[in-house]
Amino acid sequence: MTPGSGGSSSSTGLNSNLAAVLAYLFGCISGIVLLLVERKDRFVRFHAMQSTLTFLAALIITMTAGSLPVVGWLLRPALSVATAVLWLVLMFKAFRGERYKLPYVGDMAERGIR
């Protein structure tokens, strides 16, 4: 079976899909941990890199918006909800074995794992 098909296991000993979901679980932190631990499964490494880039950017954007008077205070809750929805979608796609690429970030993640 191919990585991400549900039957292979990563070098962590976990099923590839489960390891990919775990890459998103704690945002950029779990992404970084899996990038350091996982060496052979490109499916898991892709999701770990995409998680790291996506949620690091989301953190910076949300913190920056929160520091803006009035407009930022109104934007921050919407950004937080959007980030939470994105987080759930990415975990669901990884669990299903999909190599779902976000615009821009997905291409950067692919280049980063080569």
Convert the pLDDT of each residue in 14-65 to its tens digit: 999 999 999 999 999 999 999 999 999 999 999 999 999 999 999 999 889 8
From CA 19, how far away is CA 31, in angstroms rounded? 10
Domain span including residue 84:
16-112
* pLDDT at position 5: 53
Number of structural domains found in the chain: 1
Q: Would you say residue 5 lies in a domain?
A: no
Q: Would you say residue 87 lies in a domain?
A: yes
Q: Would you say residue 4 lies in a domain?
A: no
Q: Convert the pLDDT of each residue in 58-105 to its tens digit.
A: 999 988 988 888 888 889 889 999 999 999 999 999 999 999 999 999
Enumerate residues 6+ apart whose C-beta is below 8 A from 29: none
Q: Would you say residue 6 lies in a domain?
A: no
* pLDDT at position 1: 42
Q: Would you say residue 65 lies in a domain?
A: yes
Comparing CA positions, the residue from 72, 68, 75, 30 lying closest to residue 48 is 30
